[in-house]
Structure 1
Amino acid sequence: MSSPFYYLLLAPLLGCCLIANGAPLDEPLKPLPTVPELNPLQVELGRRLFNEPRLSVNNTLSCASCHRLEAGGADAKAFSIGFNGAPLTINTPTVFNSSLNFRQFWNGRADTLETQVHEVVQSPSEMGSHWEHVVKTLTSDPAYKSAFAQAYPDGVTMNNVQKALATYERTLISANSRFDQYLLGNTEILTTEEKYGYQRFKDYGCIACHQGVNIGGNMFQKFGVMGDYFQVRGNPTEADLGRYLVTKAEEDRNVFKVPSLRNVAVTAPYFHDGSAKTLEDAVDVMFKFQLGRVPSDQDKTLIIKFLKTLTGEWGGKPL
């Protein structure tokens, strides 16, 4: 697979990518932006709230319970566990780089991070609380009351809780992946096989949906373009309806927000139903049901090598 002759034959496919060392590359995918400069008091307040179990009705569940920053911003479960101990009906996506998505939730029902927070707190299966209770709880805590007063002129309010959490989440940018370094001109940071994997990612058409700075997260797509994924998988659920649950439009049945591929190597299991346990499984499903193609074992291996270069850093350490 990795013979020098093989790469010599395909070298023209990489064009300038192999010789543009030192200057940013003109590629359809772009590196992550730097963390935005935000009010530090609001960021710190949001960090505390992100780890606050009292946002849930029975003080058992915080945002960090399902979005574990040390585990890629997700929780390694097919379905996270809600406040009542029961599993949710849809897989928890990573919180890293979520501010770069054009919608929130798999079915895109929230336009902003603030709206996403609003729904999760009062979801009967997630935190099970209500905003009157949350505001009363935080107001009764002198430390929170003081922190809110410093961060927001009107103190503890529902909107300010949502704003603080969203502000903190906007700092959760997993920059400095090896692929980002490559895009910024350090072409030696990737191996030859990883570079060919990126080329295959483009050649097969994966980039048609997994595009933009977040390598996904900026469009909707039907799950099962080239075959009925849900019939093959079996046991349909309401969550499988995807965007149809929001619009009730027949063309939105089984349509979902295309997930970001950033940090994909550390956020298994995959898809809204958590059905793909490994990256290899996920790639197989995508080729079959989205592309209608069968890659060679060699090409599949190269693409997976490329996907592993998308793992970024948090707190100065690789995820």
Structure 2
Amino acid sequence: MRPLIGFRGAGPGAGYRGGVIAICAVLLCCVEVTPAPSQSPPPVVMDRGEPITPIPSAPALDPLKVALGEKLFSDRRISHDNSHSCQYCHDVSTNGASQKPHDTGLDGAELALNSLTVFNSTLSFRFSWEGKFRTVEADINASLESPRIMASSAAEIAAKLDADLDMRGRFMAAYGRRPESDDVVDALASFQRTLLTPGGRFDRWLQGDDAALSPDELDGYRLFKSLGCSACHQGVNVGGNLYERHGIFHPLASPEPKILRVPSLRNVATTPPYFHDGSAPTLDDAVRKMAMAQLNATLTDQQAKALVAFLGSLTGTYRGAPVGGSP
């Protein structure tokens, strides 16, 4: 699923502050996030007094449930017709989303909104572009039951898996019983909570490594703050904790939905195309369009370059490798 209101993946309603709130409003497509009880506490880091905090390590969860959830994540039996898995739209071997402006539903037609990345999604205060769901479990259930996405249900999936002796054994090991609907959702949620990407260069800088960022990246971060982007894109997920309206001064991407949850900018350099409709093919294009739409400002080439450089430093690692294969 992705950012910049759209970046994959907006705003007088949240406090305008002279228009600066804007690039944050969708730039990087902004209610304060409260970490879920299952999340690890943030690491002890050098206090630079910055509005962004490092990604924590993945929480310590039952490894059998996490492994089962990972297996289900790529199992096509979670769709009614056995054709789609979560991995279809959220490829955790690359960017946690896909490279398409719009993924396709079970009927072969394009889905309405660009897929947001699943990486770090559990650090946000709501789920989906419109923030309709408060918990990862609610988000999973909605996807399973959506006629366009999986057209199934946790109960239907549990029945399918119970007929598979191997999967029955995995559920017995993890939950002490044969597959049940709540366990299907819990296993998927357990895996999703481990999809955190710490260790990015910007996080290393926050933790005191002054050599982690280049001069261009540092300039971009200063500009990110001075323009007001960090008013909406802050906290552990560099976003994900506010709602905003897009197209304040000029139209930006598709007009609907008007109000969107500001997406996280974590790993944003790996998740093109951008915006909720996937209409910006590159990060440079997205940054420039957001500045105009949200700030009524035209970025210079140097400003756009610096912002893009900074955003590239937000790419973290998953299982020891950079997300999306980026440097």
Q: Is residue 2:138 matched to residue 1:134?
A: no
Distance in 1 separating the partners of 2:153 and 2:189: 18
Distance in 2 separating the partners of 1:228 and 1:91: 18
1:152 is aligned, of 169, 175, 185, to 175
Q: Which residue of 2 aligns with 1:261?
A: 265
Whether the aligned pair in 2 keeps the contact of 1:71 and 1:267 (CA below 8 Å) is: no
Whether the aligned pair in 1 keeps the contact of 2:140 and 2:185 (CA below 8 Å) is: yes
- What amino acid is aligned across from residue 52 of structure 2 in structure 1? L
Q: Which residue of 1 aligns with 2:90?
A: 67
Q: Is residue 2:100 matched to residue 1:77?
A: yes
Following superposition of structure 1 onto structure 2, how do residues 77-226 of structure 1 map, counting pairs within 5 Å?
A: 77-226=100-249
- What amino acid is aligned across from residue 97 of structure 2 in structure 1? A
Query: Larger radius of gyration, structure 1 or 2?
Result: 1
Distance in 1 separating the partners of 2:294 and 2:164: 50
Q: Per-residue deviation at 1:229?
A: 3.0
Distance in 1 separating the partners of 2:64 and 2:234: 34
Whether the aligned pair in 1 keeps the contact of 2:216 and 2:309 (CA below 8 Å) is: yes
Distance in 1 separating the partners of 2:183 and 2:137: 9
- What amino acid is aligned across from residue 260 of structure 2 in structure 1? F
Range with bigger deviation, 129-138 or 102-111: 129-138
Distance in 2 separating the partners of 1:76 and 1:35: 25
Q: Secondary structure at the match of 1:256?
A: strand
Q: Which residue of 2 aligns with 1:279?
A: 283
Q: Is residue 2:79 matched to residue 1:56?
A: yes
- What amino acid is aligned across from residue 190 of structure 1 in structure 2? L
Whether the aligned pair in 2 keeps the contact of 1:209 and 1:216 (CA below 8 Å) is: yes
Q: Per-residue deviation at 1:135?
A: 1.6
Distance in 2 separating the partners of 1:42 and 1:289: 44
Distance in 1 separating the partners of 2:307 and 2:75: 39
Q: Per-residue deviation at 1:293?
A: 1.9
Distance in 1 separating the partners of 2:75 and 2:111: 20
Q: Per-residue deviation at 1:24?
A: 4.7
Distance in 2 separating the partners of 1:187 and 1:92: 34
Distance in 2 separating the partners of 1:103 and 1:23: 28
Name structure 2 gaps, 5 residues minimum.
1-44
Report % sequence identity.
Answer: 41
Range with bigger deviation, 200-209 or 133-142: 133-142
Q: Is residue 2:315 matched to residue 1:314?
A: no
Q: Which residue of 2 aligns with 1:248?
A: none
Q: Which residue of 1 aligns with 2:301?
A: 297
Whether the aligned pair in 1 keeps the contact of 2:154 and 2:182 (CA below 8 Å) is: no
Q: Secondary structure at the match of 1:310?
A: coil
Q: Is residue 2:51 matched to residue 1:47?
A: no
TM-score, normalized by length of structure 1?
A: 0.84
Distance in 2 separating the partners of 1:220 and 1:67: 23
More helix by share: 1
- What amino acid is aligned across from residue 303 of structure 2 in structure 1? D
Whether the aligned pair in 2 keeps the contact of 1:205 and 1:291 (CA below 8 Å) is: no
2:53 is aligned, of 30, 35, 44, to 30
Distance in 1 separating the partners of 2:285 and 2:271: 13
Deviation string 1:143-177 (CA, Å, 9 cap, x unpaired) is 11121122124542211111110110110011111
2:251 is aligned, of 228, 234, 242, to 228
Distance in 2 separating the partners of 1:155 and 1:113: 23
Distance in 2 separating the partners of 1:283 and 1:116: 29
